[in-house]
């Protein structure tokens, strides 16, 4: 009878995520993760093919946590208010989990089908308010307008790139409000289809 495993895949991913959050993903080693869960590194390779596969599992866990953070935002009758609140939740998540957030956009991060689905799921809670704001046909374009602003702002904030003084919260709110207002204007100007 084979011995019971000393740890689960979920425990390994949680340990790896904790190490990523502490020091970033670039220096993560299988030996370090194995030590954190009390096993030897070769045992990890029976569960994760290599370091990249383990980092892909960490990325999935970060994306699921981001999805939960955005989904917790209460919906308002005003879709722009909901999207603004979801934008704040996105920023708060990135600030609370900076190294995990950086992993999501790292050039060396694994790109898997499961990861692509998890990315879509992470932003799925934003789609109903986008649809309400700009219509079904414009929702994806609208998301592709707001999300790059959020990512750029958060990335600059995490790296300490804002050095000219002034309030970052005010700048963030103004940027989000400007984009959402602009998206609403675009919808208002779009010709209505004739039925």
Q: Where are the domains of the chain?
A: 9-189
The 3-state DSSP class for residue 135 equals coil
Q: Which of 16, 11, 5, 27 is nearest to 54 (CA)?
A: 16
CATH second-level architecture of 9-189? Orthogonal Bundle (1.10)
Q: How many CB atoms lie within 10 A of CB 150?
A: 19
- Would you state the pLDDT for residue 3? 42
- Would you state the pLDDT for residue 31? 92
pLDDT tens sequence for the chain (195 residues): 444 467 899 999 999 999 999 988 988 999 999 999 999 888 888 889 899 999 999 999 999 999 999 999 999 999 999 999 999 999 999 999 999 999 998 876 667 788 888 988 999 999 999 999 999 989 999 999 999 999 999 999 999 888 787 788 999 999 999 999 999 766 555 555 444
Instruction: DSSP for 38-58, please give it.
Output: TS-HHHHTTTSSSHHHHHHHH
- Would you state the pLDDT for residue 189? 52
Q: How far is CA 133 from CA 130, 156, 187, in A?
A: 5, 28, 8
For residues 92 and 69, what is the distance between their CA atoms, to the nearest angstrom?
9
- Would you state the pLDDT for residue 134? 92
- Would you state the pLDDT for residue 192? 53
Q: How many CA atoms lie within 13 A of 168 on its CB side?
A: 16
The 3-state DSSP class for residue 163 equals coil
């Amino acid at each position: 009878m084979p011995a019971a495993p000393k740890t689960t895949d979920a425990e390994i991913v949680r340990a790896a995520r904790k190490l990523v959050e502490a020091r970033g993903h670039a220096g993560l080693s299988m030996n370090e993760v194995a030590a954190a869960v009390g096993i030897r590194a070769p045992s990890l390779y029976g569960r994760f093919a290599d370091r990249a596969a383990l980092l892909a599992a960490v990325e999935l866990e970060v994306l699921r946590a981001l999805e939960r953070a955005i989904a917790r935002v209460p919906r308002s009758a005003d879709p722009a208010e909901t999207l603004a609140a979801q934008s704040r939740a996105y920023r708060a998540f990135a600030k609370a989990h900076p190294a995990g957030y950086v992993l999501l956009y790292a050039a060396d991060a694994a790109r898997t089908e499961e990861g692509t689905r998890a990315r879509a799921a992470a932003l799925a809670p934003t789609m109903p308010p986008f649809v309400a704001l700009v219509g079904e046909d414009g929702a994806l374009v609208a998301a592709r307008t707001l999300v790059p602003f959020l990512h750029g702002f958060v990335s600059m904030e995490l790296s300490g790139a804002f050095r000219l003084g002034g309030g970052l919260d005010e700048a963030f709110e103004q940027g989000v409000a400007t984009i959402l207002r602009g998206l609403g204007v675009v919808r208002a100007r779009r010709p209505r289809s004739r039925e």
